[in-house]
């Protein structure tokens, strides 16, 4: 688990930057490396994958690692370099989960499952409780799809509700965004918690359980703020976005007709959507708890096999193919087309996560992570608090939640290994890291501009609403994680 990561590597003394011997030199390298990373991403506008890779190499050389340790040698083709092991170690776990989750979300999106789910919730709660219905829609639909996809698919529903009521768009979009953001930050198969779980070797069942425990109170607090700000700041329905949404909807219908995927059995049943979304969560949780509650047996082995994240997500995807695709008149070619198209935007995300794994491996192998752990350990703060604060600072400084998560995880891993924490406690630390990674979304975050432009909110009002909403979600999620950690 964390044993290998916790092995203390003697400080290297041959690096270009590590001129101060021992811990002081390594801390200097760490500080310069993190500062360089922030400068490259924020000021130079270098792509995060390239920035992380470049800084990883610089930190490794500065801490005294040899070129052979970083890159391997041509002669020994079977030797795995630090960069290769860092990239492959994390992507071997994360890439499969993100790929399967992305395809599942695409099928739910194109089939109309999101629209059906939202329509049912709106009908159940009525116009007076429409904001709550929006929040639940974001919460449920946000489990299998990425944040930006959720906005694209569900924004037209927000426009319609706000236009019908004549009230502020904020009253409807903020609860929706809170639900989408909570699932994106705290629950698999989203890249942040999955990447951290891979780096710390935590079962996804515990991530799901602690994500629900920490995320639900956090999103409830965010909904309360959304209701408050929605009544105090009026934002009109953005007519240009309404027209663009209608145009996009027509384009989707035409695309489905061209692919032969037009629906032949009316709207998608909401029960079907819930079954598909819930299947992987139930299977993964069952596998996690069977390893605790059941003695070794054939039955337990079967449950653990079906509940492995790779198998559980594959089962859910195949269910979606059948229930939302083939049974509703889709051709096999259409399923392949939609699935393949959904994977195109994932490449950048996987490269950033992989480069974060490289950065973590270099921090570990060079002794920098251990030096940081020694200093943070002497600070007297609980690891879960340090994890949250480091992630928060990195998030506010450079904007990327993924970069904040993978960098923080690499820094706190040696601290965690000192106490040999349990899987539940590790999951709570990951919740703290994830909570810190969404704090105070502002102008250096792409999500800030997406929210502002999609819903026609001025920059000033976006700071008042979205930025504060994310901060409430972050602080509340961390508070619950910290409280629960006292008893785990």
Q: Which domain holds residue 282?
A: 89-196+203-343
Residues 126 and 265 in one domain: yes
Is 426's pLDDT higher than 90?
A: yes
Question: pLDDT tens digits for 269-303?
Answer: 889 988 998 898 889 888 888 877 788 889 999 99
Residue 63 lies in a domain: yes
Q: Could you tell me which of 356, 361, 469 has the C-alpha nearest to residue 403?
A: 356
Pair (300, 422) in one structural domain: no
Q: Are 165 and 261 within one domain?
A: yes
Range 2-17 average pLDDT: 42
Q: Is 97 within 8 Å of 309 (Cβ atoms)?
A: yes
**Is the pLDDT assigned to residue 373 strictly greater than 70?**
no
Q: Where are the beta strands (DSSP E) in 289-343?
A: none
Confirm whether 398 is domain-assigned: yes
296, 284, 268: which is closest to 197 by C-alpha?
Answer: 284
Of residues 379, 172, 403, 208, the one with CA closest to residue 286: 208
Among 440, 415, 473, CA closest to 2: 415
As a whole-number percent, the residues of the chain with pLDDT over 70 amount to 87
Q: Which of 293, 318, 343 is the last residue of a domain?
A: 343
In this prediction, residue 482 has a pLDDT band, given cuts at 50, 70 and 90, of: very high
Round to whole Å and give the CA distance between 364 and 222. Answer: 37
Residue 484 · residue 429 · CB < 8 Å: no
Decide if pLDDT at 378 tops 80.
no
Question: Could you read off the pLDDT of 157-200 as tens digits, one per residue?
Answer: 888 788 888 999 999 999 999 999 999 999 988 888 999 999 89
- 438 and 431 Cβ atoms separated by less than 8 Å: no
Domain boundary among 296, 315, 343: 343
420: left (phi over 0), alpha (psi -120 to 50) or beta: left
Q: Which two tokens stand for residue 356?
A: 């974060």
**Domain's final residue, options 312, 343, 374:** 343
Do 231 and 95 share a domain, yes or no? yes
pLDDT at residue 346 in the model: 78
Residue 21's pLDDT is 43
Same domain, 465 and 364: yes
Residue 7 resides in a domain: no
Residue 140, pLDDT > 80, answer yes
Which of 352, 102, 128 lies closest to 227 in space, CA to CA? Answer: 128
- As a whole number, mean pLDDT of residues 425-453 equals 90
Tell me, yes or no, whether 140 lies in a domain: yes
Q: Each residue of 322-332: pLDDT tens digit?
A: 998 888 888 88
378, 320: one domain: no
Q: Is position 450 within any domain?
A: yes
3-state class of 109 per DSSP? helix
Same domain, 268 and 354: no
- Max avg pLDDT among 17-21, 182-186, 192-196, 474-478: 474-478
Residue 20 or 37, more confident = 37
Using CA atoms, how far apart are residues 223 and 289, in angstroms rounded to an integer? 31
Q: What is the pTM assigned to this prediction?
A: 0.76
Backbone dihedral angles phi then psi of residue 17, each to the nearest 5 degrees: -100, -25
| Whether pLDDT at 156 is above 90 | no
């Amino acid at each position: 688990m964390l044993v290998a990561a916790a092995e203390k590597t003697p400080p290297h003394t041959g690096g270009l930057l590590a001129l101060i011997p021992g811990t002081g030199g390594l801390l200097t390298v760490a500080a310069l490396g993190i500062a360089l990373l922030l400068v490259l991403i924020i000021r130079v506008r270098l792509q995060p994958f390239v920035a992380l890779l470049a800084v990883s190499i610089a930190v490794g050389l500065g801490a005294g690692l040899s070129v052979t340790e970083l890159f391997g040698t041509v002669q020994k083709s079977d030797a795995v370099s630090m960069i290769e092991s860092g990239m492959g170690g994390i992507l071997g776990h994360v890439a499969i989960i993100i790929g399967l989750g992305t395809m599942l979300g695409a099928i739910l999106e194109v089939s109309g499952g999101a629209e059906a789910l939202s329509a049912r919730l709106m009908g159940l709660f009525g116009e007076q409780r429409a904001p709550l219905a929006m929040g639940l829609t974001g919460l449920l639909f946000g489990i299998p799809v990425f944040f930006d996809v959720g906005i694209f698919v569900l924004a037209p529903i927000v426009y319609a509700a706000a236009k019908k009521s004549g009230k502020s768009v904020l009253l409807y979009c903020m609860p929706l965004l809170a639900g989408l953001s909570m699932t994106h930050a705290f629950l698999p198969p989203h890249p942040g918690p999955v990447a951290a779980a891979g780096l710390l070797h935590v079962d996804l069942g515990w991530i799901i359980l602690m994500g629900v425990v920490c995320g639900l109170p956090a999103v409830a607090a965010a909904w309360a703020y959304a209701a408050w700000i929605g009544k105090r700041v009026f934002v009109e329905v953005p007519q240009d976005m309404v027209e663009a949404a209608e145009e996009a909807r027509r384009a989707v219908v035409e695309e489905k007709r061209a692919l032969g995927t037009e629906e032949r059995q009316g709207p998608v049943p909401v029960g079907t959507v819930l079954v598909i979304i819930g299947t992987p969560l139930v299977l993964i949780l069952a596998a996690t708890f069977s390893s605790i509650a059941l003695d070794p047996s054939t039955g337990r082995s079967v449950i653990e096999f079906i509940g492995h994240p790779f198998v559980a997500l594959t089962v859910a995807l195949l269910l979606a193919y059948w229930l939302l695709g083939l049974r509703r008149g889709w051709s096999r070619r259409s399923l392949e087309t939609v699935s393949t198209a959904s994977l195109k935007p994932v490449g950048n995300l996987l490269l950033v996560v992989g480069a974060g794994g490289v950065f973590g491996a270099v921090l570990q192998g060079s002794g920098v992570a251990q030096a940081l752990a020694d200093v943070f350990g002497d600070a007297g703060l609980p690891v879960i608090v340090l994890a949250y604060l480091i992630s928060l600072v990195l998030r506010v400084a450079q904007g990327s939640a993924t970069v904040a998560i993978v960098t923080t995880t690499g820094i706190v891993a040696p601290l965690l290994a000192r106490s040999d924490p349990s899987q539940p406690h590790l999951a709570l630390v990951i919740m703290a890291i994830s909570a810190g990674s969404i704090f105070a979304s502002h102008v250096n975050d792409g999500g800030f501009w997406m929210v502002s432009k999609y819903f026609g909110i001025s920059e000033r009002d976006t700071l008042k609403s979205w930025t504060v909403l994310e901060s409430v979600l972050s602080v509340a999620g961390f508070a619950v994680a910290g409280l629960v950690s006292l008893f785990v």
